[in-house]
Chains A and B, each alone.
Chain A
């Protein structure tokens, strides 16, 4: 059933895809074969045995449905205030060239993307960067909330040498994470290239201390599965995965960007005092407390001590108050009120009733009729019963987090009240 549906979709989207492939990324065909070496993997046989490029649209949509299912299965309380250390293995194994151009370059590139995505999804959280080199761990950046400073610090320090040590890394991170307030969720994400760990003491003890301090450790391996990493993740409640190739690595690392389900005893609920500074008018001049420079316009004024800061969210340099704006809080609300997954409209219903069903996607007004007036696959919102095309479905769940159909009808009661 599902298979048949995808096949149908393949047939319809093929023409578009051929064209897309043709003017792809502005490269010639012979250039493209060298640009990504596994070009044979993006081919598939069609019914008559001819080779065709894989239909990415159907594949992408199936992938997304799977993601959505796992996400909605675990719809529970989420840890929104996270303190995450990203540990980057820069031992000599990171210089291997099985990822192009090298493992460290791939890691650095995707860590940058990850950091930006992380702060987009968790504006109240903080990240710190740690590197392992020559068996010694080194703290690149302390916990902080500014993506730019992390990215800048990372890009300068990418030489790799020596052995790698998980224990040293855990010890260092443990020391830092022990100091954070009790309401925060402590997490470590280790990007591990090496196949061994060279530790000064008993790593099992270190794993137990991490477990006691409620630090959730996750590992993404770049070479092969290692027992000690698996053991570490199992003990501390993290996730362990090994990347197959670059795109898989990117997928794995971005899975850590949305807040993980909170485990009740890991963080203690608390009230945090925060300030909501107002943005100063563009013409006002003041000395900012973060750069110690006189700046015209922009900037925010701390409501407690009236010091000027340049960007939010931050901590006031003078009085230590956490400064945020209401949009920062709002950025996290979609994790608390997720949108329900849409139902796929079954093919039999489509074939029988398609004259009565809506002809256009409610979101984008594009027609839902494919070639020869046959109905395309579509999804419908279980609440408002509007129909949407597959592209809108993905956009609505991955980026917009609103159902246009539900939002454009007046609710009799506030959403928050009815749904709780």
Chain B
């Protein structure tokens, strides 16, 4: 997180990628209505754009069935709505967001799957990281900001499709030195988001009072990376790095790892259920054609 020393104006210009959770299944049950939430977020985005005229904001909506860009400050038209009462930012964003939600709903009707599931964080994270590639990180510092209503930790295992993808994105962000900040509006802490922020050196925050969401956002997440070194930001209160075993989905702090495919088991097995290797003896012919070969 060292500030770029080459250019003087570089240290406080920031590119902020905001990933919004728009999962309809979570926001309906919330005591913070989506419209209130949006007005907090809009003020937050406006305040970032006002902090420095070179600042950039990109908003990606993370839905239940797909993800899409809903706002990009570099492409924003400067015209507001007809009667001029609504600023451009809100107008553009709200219009795109509405289209997004309609499409998400359509996709949901087409899909046969039922049940409550988290938004597609892995998709929007991947998109955001691709997008950051295109900005010159010498003249601005990029950070990702996740604002999530709720996120299920469906077990840290390779059987959970989202897990591998999210972890891949997190490591990629770490390699490109992009911190992931997460603001989590759920009831329990999310181990995924905590890990994301911890690994990439970002801030994880679970606001206590949702009425003051804007204040949390603007004091914690609006600060550029250079100024963060001078601030007392929320510190992590013990990140859960335990894994869960593949056989019973229990969270364990000691376990057995398959040396071939790194599956985690809570007790000793004779055979790996993921890759089919037999343990403790030489492999016979049928295992050498490993199941991992795809």
Partner pick for A271 among B64, B120, B168, B259, CB 8 A cutoff? B259
In the complex, what residue of chain B is closest to A409 when comparing beta carbons? B66
- A399 / chain B contacts, CB cutoff of 8 Å: 172, 175-176
A contact residues, total (Cβ < 8 Å): 72
Given A337-B164, A364-B131, A401-B172, A269:B293 Cβ within 8 A: no
Do A416 and B161 have beta carbons less than 8 Å apart? yes
State the total of A-B contacts with C-beta under 8 angstroms. 222
Provide the A351-370 mask, 1 if CB < 8 A to any CB of B, else 0. 00000000001111110000
Cβ-based interface call for A158 (8 A): no
Q: Are B241 and A327 in contact (CB under 8 A)?
A: yes
Q: Determine how close the nearest CB of chain A comes to the CB of B186; give it in whole angstroms.
A: 20
A416 and B235 alpha carbons, distance in the complex (Å): 35
* Whole-angstrom distance between the Cβ of A391 and the nearest chain B Cβ: 6
B147: interface (CB < 8 Å): no
Q: How far is the CA of A327 from the CA of B243 in the complex (A)?
A: 9
B113 at the interface (CB under 8 A from A): yes
List the A side residues contacting B159 at CB < 8 Å. Answer: 414, 416-417
Closest to A81 in B: B259
Chain B contributes a number of interface residues (CB within 8 A of A) equal to 82
Contact status B292-A408, CB under 8 Å: no
Q: For the complex, is A392 an interface residue (Cβ under 8 Å from B)?
A: yes
Decide if A410 touches B283 in the complex (CB within 8 Å).
Answer: no
| B64, B122, B258, B292 pick with most chain A CB within 10 angstroms | B292
With A75-B293, A269-B272, A333-B158 known to touch, is A279 a contact of B238 (CB < 8 Å)?
A: yes
Q: How many angstroms between the C-alpha atoms of A319 and B218 in the bound complex?
A: 47
Q: A274 touching B254 by the CB < 8 A rule?
A: yes
Residues of B contacting A363 with CB < 8 Å? 126-127, 130-131
A268 CA / B170 CA spacing, docked (Å): 32
Most buried by B among A333, A362, A400, A403: A400
- B254 and A330 form a contact (CB under 8 A): no
Query: Which of A264, A271, A361 contacts B265 (CB under 8 A)?
Result: A271
Which residues does chain B contribute within 8 Å of A172, judged by CB atoms? Answer: none
**A277 contacts B by Cβ under 8 Å:** yes
CB nearest to B280 among chain A residues:
A270
The 10 A-B pairs with the shortest beta carbon distances in the complex, nearest first, are: A408-B123, A363-B130, A269-B277, A183-B259, A325-B241, A264-B288, A330-B167, A407-B123, A404-B126, A408-B67
* Residues of B in contact with A (beta carbons under 8 Å apart): 64-69, 72, 107, 111-113, 117, 120, 122-124, 126-127, 129-131, 133-134, 156, 158-161, 163-165, 167-172, 175-176, 195, 198-199, 235-243, 252-262, 264-265, 268-269, 272, 275, 277-283, 287-288, 290-294
What are 10 sample pairs from A and B whose C-beta atoms fall under 8 A apart?
A271-B258, A271-B280, A277-B241, A325-B241, A326-B156, A327-B199, A364-B131, A391-B133, A400-B126, A404-B130
A330-B167, A415-B161 are known contacts; what are 7 more A-B pairs with Cβ within 8 Å? A269-B259, A270-B280, A274-B255, A325-B241, A330-B164, A336-B261, A420-B294
